[in-house]
Amino acid sequence: SYNTIYRHIYQHNLGEKYSSRGDTGIQRHLRHKHRTRHSKNTRRHREVQTDYISIHERPGFINQRQRIGDWEIDTVIGRTGHSILLTVVDRLSRLTLIKKVAQKDSQEINKGLVELLGAIPKEFVHSITPDHGTEFLHLDEISERLGVTVYWPDPYSPEQRGTNENTNGLIREYFPKRTDIDNYTEQDVEHRQKQLNQRPRKVLNYETPYEVFFDKPLHLV
């Protein structure tokens, strides 16, 4: 099949020698080029987090979703080079906070996190589990400012942040891929956040994230 052919090209270059270390070989002549592929063991030349608490040190009661206030964070990308969405999801209730930020860098992300989590009562903000994106490299500032613990997952292991990954799929229903986030106002984003948090979830026994987080029924007019 064509998938087998492509896989053999990417893995073995059809037996041809590479002209240099950075040479992509036969790949560069393909009409339909796939995204650059990286194995889990690939080391990329970028700034990395070296001093952190591993997700494997995260207490069992957090893993088992036994309290409100343990958050997973990620970003949802729209059109390249434009605004993005910062997404923050409570592991127990699935309550989701969404913030439009100007660009994907640590300064903007930290500012957005302070606005989102700083508005939540402190007793409901205990920990953060991000991914390994460079935009999250300076969460030590957030840890100190908000008094939260940051637990880092293993690289290339999105399944360790399944709550956020699944929620981002729901968010895509409101903000499809390649959508220009610049076209949405903060009010637009807040409206879609409200809609998402008022959706009954099977995983919550058909309660809404709002009802579980605030421990009270939601009366829709």
| Beta-bridge mates of residue 97 | 88
Identify whether residues 34 and 58 lie together within a single domain: no
Mean pLDDT throughout 169-182? 95
Domain annotation covers residue 46: no
Distances (CA, A) of 151 to 58, 74, 136, 162, 204: 7, 13, 12, 14, 24
What percent of the chain shows pLDDT beyond 70?
75
Query: Both tokens of residue 77?
Result: 């990308």
Q: What is the pTM of this model?
A: 0.77
Domain annotation covers residue 45: no
Give the largest CA-CA distance in the chain: 68
Please check whether residue 54 is in contact with residue 37, taking contact to mean a CB–CB distance below 8 angstroms.
no
Domain annotation covers residue 148: yes
pLDDT digits (tens, 9 = 90+) for 76-131: 999 888 899 999 999 999 999 999 999 999 999 999 999 999 999 999 999 999 99
Tell me: pLDDT of 214 over 50.
yes
Domain annotation covers residue 135: yes
Identify whether residues 95 and 17 lie together within a single domain: no
Identify whether residues 147 and 174 lie together within a single domain: yes
Identify whether residues 104 and 198 lie together within a single domain: yes
Domain annotation covers residue 131: yes
Which SS3 state, helix, strand or coil, does residue 207 take?
strand
- Model confidence band, residue 20 (pLDDT cutoffs 50, 70, 90): very low
Domain annotation covers residue 48: no
Identify whether residues 65 and 18 lie together within a single domain: no
Parent domain of 34: 1-39
**Could you tell me which residues come within 8 angstroms of residue 31 by beta carbon, excluding any fewer than 6 positions away?**
none
Tell me: pLDDT of 132 over 60.
yes
